[in-house]
């Protein structure tokens, strides 16, 4: 019984860690997109 509980806890922890990593990656991706968008807007405005 203890083994099952430990497996459940481990899987839950790994799942929550993966979710946190995915959200941080999404934030990085979004920030990169906004930086690129601003850069493109600035270059087009200059031309």
The pLDDT tens digits for 22-42 are 888 787 777 766 766 676 666
39 in any annotated domain: yes
Biggest CA-to-CA distance, the chain: 69
Mean pLDDT rounded to a whole number for the chain: 78
Alpha carbon distance 14, 11 (integer Å): 5
Please say if the pLDDT value at position 21 is more than 80. yes
Residue-level pLDDT at 43:
65
Find the domain containing 46 and state its range: 23-47
Residue 5 placed within a domain: no
> Would 16 be classed as within a structural domain?
no
What pTM was computed for the model?
A: 0.44
Could you identify the residue written with the tokens 């899987």? 11
Task: Give the chain's domain count.
Answer: 1
Question: What is the C-alpha separation between 35 and 33, in angstroms, rounded?
Answer: 5
Mean pLDDT of 11-24: 85
| Mean pLDDT across 12-16 | 86
């Amino acid at each position: 019984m203890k083994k099952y509980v430990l497996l459940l806890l481990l899987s839950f922890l790994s799942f929550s860690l993966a979710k946190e990593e995915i959200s941080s990656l999404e934030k990085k991706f979004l920030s990169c997109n906004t930086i690129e968008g601003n850069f493109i807007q600035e270059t087009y405005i200059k031309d």
